[in-house]
Amino acid sequence: MNKDIPYKIYLEETEVPKQWYNVRADMVNKPAPLINPGTLKPMTAEELSGVFCDELIAQELNTTDAYIPIPDEIQKFYKMYRPSPLVRAYCLEEKLGTPAKIYYKFEGNNTSGSHKLNSAIAQAYYAKKQGLKGVTTETGAGQWGTALSMACAYFGLDCLVYMVKVSYEQKPFRREVMRTYGATVTPSPSNTTEIGRKILERHPGTTGSLGCAISEAVEAELTRDGYKYVLGSVLNQVLLHQTIIGLETKTALEKYDIVPDIIIGCAGGGSNLGGLVSPFVGEKIKGNADYRIIAVEPASCPSFTRGKYAYDFCDTGKVCPLAKMYTLGSNFIPSPNHAGGLRYHGMSPVLSQLYHDGLIEATSVGQKEVFDAAVQFARVEGILPAPESSHAIRVAIDEALRCKETGEEKTIVFGLTGTGYFDMVAYGKYNDGEMEDYIPTDEELEKSFAELPQVNL
């Protein structure tokens, strides 16, 4: 039945998706809208235009069009590093001795080293089209900032990046890549913004968080003419751009009549996972197919598995709109674990609704077991994975080992979101046997939940 399946399934140029897929159009229960914390009414396009680009706002609010054309300029840029390969992990399967068939979609084949470029180039394009001078943003581990710097350089936009302090210090090389692409990089919290100064006062010595950096980047945008703020995850528009991953994956699988049983992705703000699974969730919603879809998060920042589904601020400084999502509370500052890209207190509203409706499941894993999987994978598949991506590897391996016990020949697909060359401090800790994991106590989470905004809609 199956044609011989190559190690890498590539797509022809004619097979490459020309539209993004907007799963919200097919969702029966739509994700809750962003609301204005002042009026407690859904944010209008006009209110959002203070912060975001117009075209991106239209995408953010669009719950009706299932397909949105990818502009030619973006398609052209995508051609430089896409389509990304869907790889059959033959070597890993053999090493594990599993009857399972494992595939991974590899998004690390570009200089920024992750999937983030898929949305960065789209956001830079719309900012340029609107005639802006530049954009401001935050970056956690640095992948988003790097991707955005590349995209801004391509379109000739200025790029101001607030980088979470722990990463700024741990990843000087990533900072230099951004500067090489022309970005200005500031460690956050900083004393260059009012909110940064406030956070420093309240938490002296803090290593920062994405939530803090977002507040600073938004303030930087609001105090400058010709700038808008852009965000690398969580938002509906970002998920939309990332569906290029899932659409390519689905086309590649169909080319060889492969039907996945389990689809796995790591979840920070949810953009890569949402992008990978959206087309499959769409099929599931329509009753055309059934898949197990698993979100994997760090035990130190367990938004899905231990969070509350509630309206919350997207940032620590409470300057952004409220989003209904699985959240640990916007004041929650996760311990400085090594998967910086997964240290966000909330989760994409789209994925939150899908999780709430039982269309996807979630699990959390500890840092040490994640690096065990990362090293195991690196040694047989040849790719040194990002710590974030390795969360998905961990669960893919666990599922494959379960198949070994039961003899089931399941087909497992996971998202390998990026490479880990800038994460060698983390690998060093692991190699020295010094990897620690701080898992928040129920008490700490309760304390954070108590500070959730009281919104009764």
Ligand X SMILES: *Cc1c(COP(=O)(O)O)cnc(C)c1O
Give residues in contact with ligand X (CB under 6 A). 114, 116, 143, 233, 266-273, 341-342, 386, 388-389, 417-418
Q: Which of 98, 364 has the CB closer to ligand X?
A: 364
Q: Which of 389, 448 has the CB closer to ligand X?
A: 389
Q: Which of 333, 342 has the CB closer to ligand X?
A: 342
Question: Whose CA is closest to 34, among 311, 408, 362?
Answer: 311
CB of 266 to ligand X, least distance (A): 5
Question: Whose CA is closest to 282, among 56, 86, 17, 28?
Answer: 28
CB of 227 to ligand X, least distance (A): 23
Distance CA 24, CA 240 (A): 9
* Matching residue, tokens 């492969």: 258
Question: Whose CA is closest to 242, among 285, 191, 278?
Answer: 278
Q: Which of 273, 412 has the CB closer to ligand X?
A: 273
Distance CA 174, CA 190 (A): 19
- The β-bridge partners of 21 are 67
Q: Which of 10, 421 has the CB closer to ligand X?
A: 421
CB of 296 to ligand X, least distance (A): 10
Q: Which tokens sit at 246?
A: 């899932």
CB of 135 to ligand X, least distance (A): 17
Q: Reduced to 3 states, what is the DSSP secondary structure of residue 310?
A: strand
Distance CA 178, CA 427 (A): 22
DSSP states of 8-73 = EE---GGGS-SEEE-GGGT-SSPPPPPB-TTT-SBPPHHHHTTTS-HHHHHHHH--S-SEEEPPHH
* Strand spans (E) along 45-174: 67-69, 86-88, 101-106, 134-139, 158-164
Q: Which of 88, 241 has the CB closer to ligand X?
A: 241
Distance CA 207, CA 166 (A): 5
CB of 268 to ligand X, least distance (A): 3
Whats the size of the chain, residue-wise?
A: 457
CB of 60 to ligand X, least distance (A): 15
Q: Which of 134, 418 has the CB closer to ligand X?
A: 418
Q: Which of 32, 342 has the CB closer to ligand X?
A: 342
Q: Which tokens sit at 270?
A: 């949810």
CB of 271 to ligand X, least distance (A): 3
CB of 347 to ligand X, least distance (A): 8
